């Protein structure tokens, strides 16, 4: 939910099947294999301990931004585009992704930011 992803988006990001993601969400599978746990924690940018037990810090310190002040909680970045899902984007070729990056960079530069 923090990422704003569907099960399909998470499946693509983690290289797991959508049915596996659904089984974890529904509780049909309680504990992911160590390989699946690694894939999920990398995709979600959360701590393996938190994901497997619910204990400890949720965010993986390797991905979290430094909070502006001690009361702030750093959140992982969310997928920024409402009209294009992460799953759709991930199916693009490397060349297509690069073209999108260049167009976006040119747009931002033209705005003076």
The confidence score (pLDDT) of residue 113 equals 64
Residues 27-77: tens digit of each pLDDT: 888 788 888 888 888 888 888 888 877 777 887 665 544 444 444 444 445
Give the Cα-Cα-Cα angle 58, 18, 79 (nearest 5 degrees). 50
Residue 1 included in any domain: no
Structural domains in the chain (count): 1
Confidence band, pLDDT 50/70/90 cuts, at residue 20: very high
Range of the domain at 17: 7-110
- Name the maximum alpha-carbon separation found in the chain: 51
User: Residue 54 sits in a domain of what CATH number?
Assistant: 1.10.260
Residue 2 included in any domain: no
* pTM beyond cutoff 0.75: no
Residues 68-107: tens digit of each pLDDT: 444 444 444 566 777 877 777 878 888 888 898 888 888 8
């Amino acid at each position: 939910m923090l990422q704003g992803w569907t099960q399909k988006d998470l499946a693509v990001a983690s290289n797991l099947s959508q049915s596996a993601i659904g089984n974890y969400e529904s509780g049909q599978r309680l504990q992911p294999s160590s390989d699946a746990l690694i894939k999920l924690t990398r995709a979600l940018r959360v701590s393996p301990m938190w994901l497997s037990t619910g204990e400890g810090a949720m965010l993986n310190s390797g991905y979290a931004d430094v909070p502006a002040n001690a009361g702030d909680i750093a959140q992982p970045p969310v997928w920024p585009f409402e009209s294009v899902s992460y799953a759709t984007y991930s199916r693009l070729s490397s060349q297509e992704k690069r073209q999108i990056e260049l167009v976006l960079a040119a747009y931002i530069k033209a705005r003076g930011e």
